[in-house]
């Protein structure tokens, strides 16, 4: 697993997270948790500053779109303009 000698407790924590089956469970669990959060969000009246915030599960959609937008926007900008060879300034 690891070449280094770590503290047994740390070693234990690392082994805990290196279990792929457990990680899968954690993944499913977190999806479930967020699903629950979204359901709760329908009942909690948010004091949004803008109307757009009243859309159901707005922040889920926003988070997802924001992530995709940032990556696509930046990478496109990089490809067509900003990315130069590594020795550009030399």
Partner 1 sequence: MNNIWVPPAFIIIFSVALLPFLRKRGHKNIYLLIVPVIALINVLLMTKGSHFSFEFLGYKIVLARVDKLSKVFAYIFVIAGFIGTLYSIHLKEKRENVAAFLYMGSALGVVFAGDFFSLFVFWEIMAIASTFLIWARGTKASSSAGFRYIVVHLLGGLILFSGIMLHVIQTGSIAFTHIGMSEGLASWLILIGFCLNAAVPPLSAWLSDAYPEATVAGTVFLSAFTTKTAVYVLIRGFSDVHFLAYVGAIMAFYGVVYAVLANDIRRILAYHIISQVGFMVAAVGIGTDLAINGAVAHAFAHILYKGLLFMGAGVVLKETGESRLSELGGLYKYMPITFALYMIGAFSISGFPFFSGFVSKSMEISAAGEGKIFFVWLILTLSSAGTFLHTGLKLPYFTWLGKDSGLKGQEPPKNMLAAMGIASVLCILIGLAPSILYNLLPYPVEYHPYSAAHLIETAQYLFFTAVGFFMLLKYLEGHRYTILDTDWFYRKTAPMFRSIAAGFSTFNDWYEAKTERIPYYLSLTKKPMRAFVNFLSDTLFVIWCDFWLFKPTKKLSAESADEPTLEKSILFKPLYWLARFMDSLSERMSKAASAFDSNVVDKTAEGLANVMFSQKEIISGHKISSFANIFDKIIVDGLVNGVARVIFYLGERTRRMQTGLVQSYALIIVVAMAFMLFALSIKGGFK
Chain residues binding partner 1 by CB under 8 A are 1-4, 6, 10, 13-14, 30, 33-34, 37-38, 40-41, 44-50, 57, 59-64, 66-71, 73-75, 77-78, 81-90
The least distance separating partner 1 from the CB of residue 33, rounded to whole angstroms, comes to 8
Residue found by looking up tokens 């109307």 in the block: 51
Q: Would you give the end-to-end CA distance of the chain in angstroms?
A: 42
20-43 vs 8-18: helix axis angle to the nearest 10?
Answer: 70
Q: How far apart (Å, rounded) are the C-alpha atoms in residues 41 and 57?
A: 7
Q: How far is the CB of 39 from partner 1 (least distance, A)?
A: 10
Q: Closer to partner 1 by CB, 21 or 50: give it.
A: 50
3-state secondary structure at position 63: helix
Instruction: Pick the closer one to partner 1 by CB: 28 or 37.
Output: 37
């Amino acid at each position: 697993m690891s070449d280094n000698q770590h503290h047994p407790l740390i070693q234990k924590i690392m082994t805990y997270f290196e279990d792929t089956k457990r990680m899968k469970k954690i993944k499913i669990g977190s999806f479930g948790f967020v699903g629950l959060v979204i359901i709760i969000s329908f009942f909690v009246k948010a004091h949004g500053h803008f109307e757009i915030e009243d859309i159901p599960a707005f922040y889920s959609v926003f988070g997802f779109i924001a992530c995709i937008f940032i990556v696509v926007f930046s990478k496109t900008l990089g490809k067509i303009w900003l990315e130069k060879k590594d020795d550009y300034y030399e």
